[in-house]
Amino acid sequence: MTMPAPDDEPTPRQPYLRLQLWLLLRALARFETTMWLRTRYSQPKMVAIGVVGSFSLAVYYPVWAYLFPQPYENLPMRLACSATFIPLALLPWWPRRLRAYLPTYWYFAMTVAMPFFVGYMTLRNATPPWLMTHMACVMLLMMLFDIASFLLVFTTGSLLAGVAFALSPGAVLHGQTMLEYVPLLLFGIVGGATCTVSSTMAEQSRIDALTAASNNIAHELRTPLGSLRIAARAVARYMPDLIRSHRLAESEGLAVPEMRTQNLHALERSIGVMEREVTYANTIIDMLLLSARAIGEVPLTTLGARDCVEQALRRFPYGSRAERERITLSPTGDFPLLGEETLVVHILFNLLRNALFHTDRAGKGEIRVYIEAGENGNHIRVHDTGPGIPPDVLPRIFNRFYSYSSDSAGTGNITGLGIGLAFCRAAMEHMGGGIMCRTNLGEFTEFTLTFPITEAGVRQ
């Protein structure tokens, strides 16, 4: 019997290891996103936290050293932890390039100042004031972080406090006191975790509210829009006869009100304007309902990329003719895609609206739309020469409920609902594609929609 060569032996662990690595990377990405979200929600309070934290840590030294003396105090450690709060107090003056590191520093400062410092001092003293301070810090951390982030910060800080306590010369563990405190601490953690409303529940409540609002708006607007469309069609039906009658009466010398030719032309055009506006309003309602609907329920059919882009450019509600003239479509390029027409048009609407908004705010910029068929994938690119996106904002633009405006940078203010680009990413993934953004601050922003090559595209 011939034994297989070493090179021919199967390696069943390789796919398993790759899967585990992928799961680990995905978990880290999710945690990083969660870390950033919690930092963002806490950002409006960071300056106050920085001021109070740095002041309190310094001021409480004479309280516990002289007014109510504790068995152990450490001024250098207290001042060092107090200094970690100072950058948070100076947050409005952080340069833009450093803001990308704010989540990391926020977690570092909270870990050092609360579970590490307070945990270490509690182990050294084990007095009622420090036990109550430690419990208060646990409650504060649970208010500032979600459960997973709290466990990370609290566990890391507590382990460091334990190591520092073990390495401290002359440190004596108050075993009986700490054993009595552990059940209370566990009750506080479990009770706080049970009573805390998680960020997922809060986000779902916002989605439910948007869905309910979308359905109510659609229900209330469908009927008057339908009546307006019927009225517009009735006017369009009889308006030519009325105009001819008026002109005939004028030619016969009858006493009729004088109307200029351009006014008659304006009346004729107004009917088309009314119908277009009603059609656009119905389109917006359809898209609003589509945004509230589960993406996975939307059926897909074969479409033409150029038809979708041209329809989006034709139906987009431009604020002026100048806005329409700022947008240029590439003269060539087309490919078939598997999607849903309203879905693709809605994605393009979001990208065009963002590009027009930011170029308007910057007072400069043009927008170009490219349709490109390639061997590795088909692409629709929306490129604008506007102000660009800051590097600390770019990784977050596809997060749900995140929005950014250049005039709110660094203030903690949140502009808009922040669901447009998140919806675009979910819609592109449902169609088997993806969306990405590349930008250079002060020069350009480009969103690329990538569609898989369909069988029709291969045959073509």
Residue pLDDT, tens place only, 177-236 = 999 999 999 998 888 777 665 555 555 666 666 666 666 766 667 677 777 777 777 777
Provide the β-strand partners of residue 436: 448
Measured distance between the N- and C-terminal CA atoms of the chain, rounded to whole angstroms: 52
Contact 338, 347 (CB under 8 A): no
Q: Which of 415, 422, 427 is nearest to 380 (CA)?
A: 427
Alpha-carbon distance values, 368 to 13, 315, 317, 318, 448 (Å): 48, 17, 17, 15, 12
Residues 6+ apart with CB under 8 A from 72: 121, 124, 125
Q: What is the pTM of this model?
A: 0.55
Tens-digit pLDDT profile for residues 85-120: 999 999 889 887 787 788 889 999 999 989 999 999
Please state, in angstroms and rounded to a whole number, the distance separating the CA atoms of residues 140 and 196. Answer: 12
Taken as a whole, the chain contains a residue count of 460
**What per-residue string of b and e applies to 130-164 under the rule 16 or more CB within 10 Å gives b?**
bbebbbebbeebbebbbeebbeebbebbbebbeeb
3-state secondary structure of 408: helix
Per mean pLDDT, which range of 6-15, 27-36, 99-108, 109-118 is the poorest?
6-15
pLDDT at residue number 380: 93
Tokens of 132: 């109550």
Q: Within 13 Å of residue 220, how many CA atoms lie on the same side as its CB?
A: 6
H runs (alpha helix) in 252-335: 261-292, 305-315, 321-325
Q: Which of 437, 446, 304 is nearest to 382 (CA)?
A: 446
The full set of domains in the chain, from first to last, is 13-196 (no CATH), 202-293 (no CATH), 300-459 (3.30.565.10)
If you ran DSSP here, which 8-state letter would residue 92 be given? Answer: G
Tens-digit pLDDT profile for residues 335-374: 998 888 888 888 998 899 888 888 887 777 889 999 998 7
Q: Within 13 Å of residue 358, how many CA atoms lie on the same side as its CB?
A: 27
